[in-house]
Amino acid sequence: MFNYDLHSHSTVSDGTLTPSDLVRRARDKGVDVLALTDHDEVAGYGAAVVESRRVGIQLLAGVEISVTWGRQTVHIVGLDVDPDSAGLVKGLSHLRDYRKWRGEEIGRRLENAGFVDAYSGALEYQQGDLLTRTHYGRFLVGVGAVETMQDAFKKYLLRGRPGYVSGKWASMEEALQWIHDAGGVAVVAHPARYGMTRTKLRSMLGEFIECGGEGLEVVSSSHNGNEIQTMGQHAVQLGLAASRGSDFHDPGNRWVELGRLPSLPKKCEPIWERWELGRHPRVPQTANR
Ligand code: AMP
Ligand code: MN
Ligand code: MN
Ligand code: MN
């Protein structure tokens, strides 16, 4: 049985390891198949795939797309995408344009709340080209405004808090279109984290399935044992394949590690069977893409 970890971040978005360091750590932690799924960007794949061949693990190109569904933000992971797909590249670049404005707006709001130079302060933590709330969280911890990232989000970055900017991300339909244009499969990330009622979650998953979505991230570091069981049942009932991903960002977070996750619940159909059974057309992994 392979150890699959199909959700992870590098310095290209809000992770703290470079794509190649991430791949090396995955290998060291016993991961056999890793998906690099940075927020709204695929630029880490080139370096990561070179390193994955060097150290001998399998790498899938992936992405975690920010989606606005109703008044909420949900994250849709695309797996085994062609990172050069024109539709995907263009869609993600629009999202990053919005993200740039939104990153500045978060800065202005935190500055109004008394944090002088919040924007430039957050930029100090940015390692790639993309600014996220995680960088603001690290800034707020760095200046001693809060002790933990959790507190930074709770006090400053979540809905209703001074630094919150309501998202205008992709629609569900657009995100799935981009993923499918790129030959990938779509997975709803960490479904238990949205705090949706069962009815609301079903409605969101219904729209996801209508748009051709394939999978549900049943096993995630965000999920406790009960949530894994519940999400496994949703997947089975709705005919969605199940995925497993750590959502690793930072070796400094000792609660989340690459490849260190429970197995899928028994009745679930693993999403990777789509590749093993050849049902999903694999993108040929040529060198230096
Ligand atoms: P953004 O896409 O800019 O809104 O940033 C979202 C990212 O913030 C997520 O991918 C997580 O990495 C991080 N995040 C969200 N909520 C929390 C939280 N409560 N504690 C720590 N990190 C969080
Ligand atoms: Mn993140
Ligand atoms: Mn996410
Ligand atoms: Mn993530």
Q: Rounded to the nearest whole angstrom, what is the distance from the C-alpha of residue 278 to the centroid of ligand 2?
A: 31
The 10s digit of each residue's pLDDT in 210-251 is 999 999 999 999 999 999 999 999 999 999 999 999 999 999
Residue 156 beta carbon below 6 angstroms from any ligand 1 atom: no
Q: Rounded to the nearest whole angstrom, what is the distance from the C-alpha of residue 114 to the centroid of ligand 1?
A: 22
Q: Rounded to the nearest whole angstrom, what is the distance from the C-alpha of residue 283 to the centroid of ligand 4?
A: 23
Question: Which residue numbers in the chain have pLDDT < 70?
Answer: 277, 280-289
Residue ranges of the chain assigned to CATH 1.10.150.650:
97-157
- Which residue has a Cα nearest atom 18 of ligand 1? 150
Residue 149 beta carbon below 6 angstroms from any ligand 1 atom: yes
- Which residue has a Cα nearest atom 13 of ligand 1? 134
Report which ligand 1 atom has the smallest distance to the Cα of 66.
2
Residue ranges of the chain assigned to CATH 3.20.20.140:
4-92+168-288
Superfamily holding 4-92+168-288 = Metal-dependent hydrolases (3.20.20.140)
Predicted confidence at residue 281, as pLDDT, reads 61
Q: Rounded to the nearest whole angstrom, what is the distance from the C-alpha of residue 249 to the centroid of ligand 2?
A: 7
Cβ pair 78, 184 in contact under 8 A:
yes
Residue 5 beta carbon below 6 angstroms from any ligand 1 atom: no
CATH code given to domain 97-157: 1.10.150.650
| Terminal Cα-to-Cα distance of the chain (whole angstroms) | 29
Predicted confidence at residue 275, as pLDDT, reads 79
The 10s digit of each residue's pLDDT in 6-49 is 999 999 999 999 999 999 999 999 999 999 999 999 999 999 99
